[in-house]
């Protein structure tokens, strides 16, 4: 498992949001004061 260190930049990736739209990180961080990233792998 890889983790980010304090003050390390979030890697540039493109994900899909809850509405099915593409979201580019770290651009999303510039849109709000705080951002929560939640990864849900599915229901086992």
Distance CA 44, CA 13 (A): 26
Given a contact cutoff of 8 angstroms between Cβ atoms, the answer to whether 10 and 26 are in contact is yes
pLDDT at 36 over 80: no
Distance CA 2, CA 42 (A): 20
Q: Where are the domains of the chain?
A: 12-44
Collapse the DSSP code of 30 into the 3-class scheme (helix H, G, I; strand E, B; otherwise coil) and give the result. Answer: helix
Given a contact cutoff of 8 angstroms between Cβ atoms, the answer to whether 24 and 14 are in contact is yes
What was the pLDDT predicted at 42? 74
What was the pLDDT predicted at 31? 76
Phi, psi (deg, nearest 5) at residue 16: -110, 130
Work out the pLDDT band at 44, boundaries 50, 70, 90: low
Specify the pTM: 0.40
């Amino acid at each position: 498992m890889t983790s980010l260190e304090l003050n390390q930049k979030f890697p540039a990736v493109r994900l899909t949001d809850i509405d099915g739209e593409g979201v580019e990180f770290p651009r999303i961080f510039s849109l709000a004061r705080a951002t929560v990233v939640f990864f849900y792998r599915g229901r086992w």
